[in-house]
Amino acid sequence: MKFAIITHVEHKKKAQDIFAYEPYVREMNLWLKYVDQVQVVAPFSSEKPTSIDIAYVHGKIAQKTILQFDITTISNALKSIFLIPIISFKIFKTMLWADHIHLRCPGNVGLLGCFIQILFPNKPKTVKYAGNWDPNSKQPFSYRLQKKILSSTFLTKNCKVLVYGKWENQSKNIIPFFTATYSKNDIKEIPKKDFSEKTHFIFVGALSVGKQPITSVKIVHALKSKGYDVQLDMYGEGLEREVLEDYIRGNDLENEVFLHGNVIKEEVKKAFQKSHFLVFISKSEGWPKVVAEAMFWSCLPITTSISCVPYMIANGKRGALVKADKQQIINEIEIYLNNEKRYQNQVSNAKDWSQEFTLEKFESEIKKLLKN
């Protein structure tokens, strides 16, 4: 099978290997186990791979380099007028070559792919929609347009669109799906976490405005002020790091809040295993992998009601759904701290649910998609 990947994810090269963001490549390598040849249409950077990049594993993979583009400014829009026909032609040629077309959405490249795939109604296709599929969420026009095209069985034929969560009134194209991080071999008994000593919190994700990491810090600050023995470990990098550092210094939190930066997956796994709570007050998500990962390791999520999160935590039976309101979040945490039985019940429910979604199950579902 000749397999085409159309994606906006930035790629890098080192020697003969092609690298990209580790969670994305780790998933794609599962798809590539069952195909003979691969062509990747994606932006390629001249930068060297970093610690958060890994390589594709396949003997016959070819890069089809395209340039990044956007229309956020007038100059970029004018530049895009010249770039879009070139990019579209490369996508068309690759789709023409392929036996199976795989689109990654949402994104600018995915949007072009959505239009071009219409010309190939008889070719089998899969689309991984990694964003928020919630029909009622406020989203950019380009995202809504991609969802409209992909949902249409008239425009998008012979296609399975993999979305996070279960939503009502969807076309037959739309398939509820999931993602996975851990193998069934990773499952092990975690020592029971109680509140007799320090209460550990964790944040994992980009230190960006959209992920609102400062909220997690302010929560721990407020709990410390109320006399609780607390610690917050933060994993990730981003533009908000300086803001966090200033807040930590300005409020004497050097012994409570630790910024670890980008680290290997094994280190994050160990942190989940010792943490009581994930505080994740993000503004936008697709399938928030970090929520499922925390649940896997008996770390209870305190998170906003975005995308498929209510489905993941069973509307509050496997964690707490909160608004981005500091006092509400503190109140929820204190309810758990004062009712350990409730905490332990929800931790157990969360762990049992998350451990159903292993890499083995994920790979089995991918194999079915490629066969059908």
Q: Report DSSP state, residue 185.
A: G
Q: Are residues 112 and 21 in the same domain?
A: yes
3-state secondary structure 219-244: HHHHHHHCCCCEEEEEECCCCCHHHH
| 207 shares its domain with 163 | no
Q: How far is CA 265 from each of CA 29, 221, 236, 290, 360, rounded to the nearest angstrom?
A: 17, 27, 11, 11, 18
Task: Count CA within 13 A, CB hemisphere, residue 219.
Answer: 32
CA distances (Å), 138 to each of 20, 102, 152, 183, 324, in order? Answer: 29, 26, 20, 35, 17
Query: What's the confidence (pLDDT) of residue 209?
Result: 92
236-295 per-position pLDDT tens digit: 999 999 999 999 999 999 999 999 999 988 999 999 999 999 999 988 766 788 999 999
Backbone angles phi, psi at 100, to 5 degrees: -140, 130
In this prediction, residue 166 carries a pLDDT of 84
Number of domains present in the structure of the chain: 2
Residue 286, pLDDT score: 61
Global pTM reads 0.83
Kindly list the distances between the CA atom of residue 131 and the CA atoms of 75, 107, 325, 343, in Å, as whole numbers in the listed order. Answer: 27, 9, 24, 30
Q: Are residues 301 and 336 in the same domain?
A: yes
Instruction: Note whether 365 and 175 are within 8 A (CB).
Output: no
- Residues of the chain falling short of pLDDT 50: none
Q: Based on the fold, state whether residues 208 and 175 are members of the same structural domain.
A: no
Q: Is the domain of 176 the same as that of 250?
A: no
Task: Identify the three-state secondary structure at position 101.
Answer: strand
pLDDT, residue 372, reads 66
pLDDT score for 185: 94
Domain that holds residue 206: 184-354
Interacting residues of 320 by C-beta distance below 8 A, sequence separation 6+: 300, 301, 302, 303, 313, 332, 333, 336
CATH number of the CATH domain containing 325: 3.40.50.2000
Residue 67 confidence (pLDDT): 87
